Structure 1
């Protein structure tokens, strides 16, 4: 029911062409108003302008996004995360940066970085950063990088998922790149 309320409110707000903070407020209000209590949804709401590279986002309860340029991570401007949707008291702050053609944007849940090995060791942000940088340096296409990353996370926790472990990768391709597929 929570997912249905959140997605319906999101779609309604998006179809009314609301800005990201207003969309977040609508989803927050729907969850709080219809489900109340301590019900919430984590989310990243984002808009990317493929003409300019402008990326705007609201982070409601997830780790900060990562941007990979070539094989290096790009430092994002400071952007305070918002509380999860359903628990917000004010409209969240919308963050902004610019991507360059070829950049990869990674959005992921804490189930990636908080995956624990049988010995209790977290997968961690540094291991994630090292893995994606090495994958880019090796020339792995984005889908293959994600496939291998998820396998690496599962191996780290001995194939026993303890939390949702999701990742979305957006690679900004302008169409002018030459591409050779294996």
Structure 2
């Protein structure tokens, strides 16, 4: 490598990236914050903060640590940190002293882990490229350390969490996933007391596998059923059986473990991300809503199958074809069966009206749009969530992604 190419590599940030990656290998979780702060100081950054999303998706809370700047939690709405988190884009705010407060989304693949905030004297294009790469590396460090420490969990928790909720959060995949052809996002309420609701997904080749479940009951019994149901679903998915057979695997697991008086409602789906063809099994769930151009156009109907655990016959598969840009909204009955003022049920019509009304606003991306819908629905219900209430949304974008694997 000649001197010119070395200078170019250093100019694009390989040196600080390499140092951070090298030093992080042996650093214990409690020293990740100081290490990040020190490496950011090496590129001229000061007042470094690591902000993590709280479980209710209302605040970005500072991760405490030596050398880190720990300020007040930042609201998810109407704050620079919130915009960076929800949109996955760096936000720059000029300061009175001439510096620039920069909020960098911490993207692990396509899931936003948090936000890194730091102040620089000035920000140019090379700085932006470097910060983007550093943000990805910091996100990876947080995700890997999170697997064997409670530090990040404790920072994100804003109120006591039930044992059942602990179990459910440990089951979940990332709350969002975005690739060029498809995006998904999910949200659980009440975040600190959820028990029987859960969702799961995996993108295997061109097929997006999805499941949304609601185990009967409350507390640990519901959490235990949800755990078995999700475990059976993942096992079936990984032995490459059909959509109908996934239902059978789950049905058998729940009936054997809990007997005939227990059940789990579920929606199981396959989406071909190349063609938009969607297959659906509805086992006792409300039918998903098809959203096109911001408006609900219809329910995605399919022959209803008995809930998981009741030993139903082989389910009939509902087949639908999506258009590019279509969204599919799945929800559990806690969304529509909450009683509102006067004792009447919230109902599906109110849900559809909320979706349509919010669809008139500019989209801020899947994560932000679903979060806005969830919080709007909660407000419309008078702030009440007496039962688990889950939303899960898919957006099919189509197209191809093979070009991303080809070097420029």
- Report if TM-score (shorter chain) is over 0.5: yes
Is the counterpart of residue 158 in structure 1 residue 379 in structure 2? no
Is the counterpart of residue 81 in structure 1 residue 296 in structure 2? no
Asked if the contact 1:82/1:88 (under 8 Å) is kept, the reply is no
Asked if the contact 1:43/1:84 (under 8 Å) is kept, the reply is yes
Alignment of 1:94-109 (within 5 A): 94-109=317-332
Asked if the contact 1:116/1:156 (under 8 Å) is kept, the reply is no
d(CA) in 1 for partners of 2:348, 2:227? 31
d(CA) in 2 for partners of 1:130, 1:111? 17
- For the aligned residue pairs, the C-alpha RMSD in angstroms reads 1.9
Whose radius of gyration is greater, 1 or 2?
Answer: 2
Q: CA deviation at 1:89?
A: 2.4
What does residue 42 of structure 1 align with?
265
Deviation per CA, 1:30-57: give whole Å up to 9, x if none: 1112221311112111111110000111
Q: CA deviation at 1:18?
A: 0.7
Q: CA deviation at 1:82?
A: 1.4
Asked if the contact 2:277/2:319 (under 8 Å) is kept, the reply is yes
- Give the alignment partner of residue 20 of structure 1, picking from 223, 243, 248: 243
What does residue 59 of structure 1 align with?
282
Alignment of 1:116-127 (within 5 A): 116-127=339-350
What does residue 8 of structure 1 align with?
231
Is the counterpart of residue 32 in structure 1 residue 247 in structure 2? no
- Give the alignment partner of residue 169 of structure 1, picking from 360, 377, 393: 393
Q: CA deviation at 1:8?
A: 2.1
d(CA) in 2 for partners of 1:74, 1:156? 22
More strand by share: 2
Is the counterpart of residue 147 in structure 1 residue 371 in structure 2? yes
Task: Classify the secondary structure of the residue corresponding to 2:343.
Answer: coil
Asked if the contact 2:287/2:301 (under 8 Å) is kept, the reply is no
d(CA) in 1 for partners of 2:296, 2:240? 32
d(CA) in 2 for partners of 1:106, 1:98? 15
Comparing 145-154 with 93-102, greater Cα deviation is found at 145-154
Asked if the contact 1:76/1:97 (under 8 Å) is kept, the reply is no
What does residue 112 of structure 1 align with?
335
**TM-score for both structures, normalised by structure 1:** 0.87
* Alpha-carbon spacing, 1:121–1:143, altered in 2? closer, same or farther (3 Å): farther
What does residue 180 of structure 1 align with?
none
Q: CA deviation at 1:78?
A: 4.2
- Of the two structures, which has the highest relative contact order with CA contacts closer than 8 Å and spacing of 6 or more? 1
**Number of equivalenced pairs:** 176
d(CA) in 2 for partners of 1:97, 1:148? 27
Deviation per CA, 1:80-123: give whole Å up to 9, x if none: 22121001321111111011111111000111111221321322
**TM-score for both structures, normalised by structure 2:** 0.41
Gaps of at least 5 residues in structure 1 are 177-182
Gaps of at least 5 residues in structure 2 are 1-223, 401-408
d(CA) in 1 for partners of 2:269, 2:263? 19
Asked if the contact 1:123/1:153 (under 8 Å) is kept, the reply is no
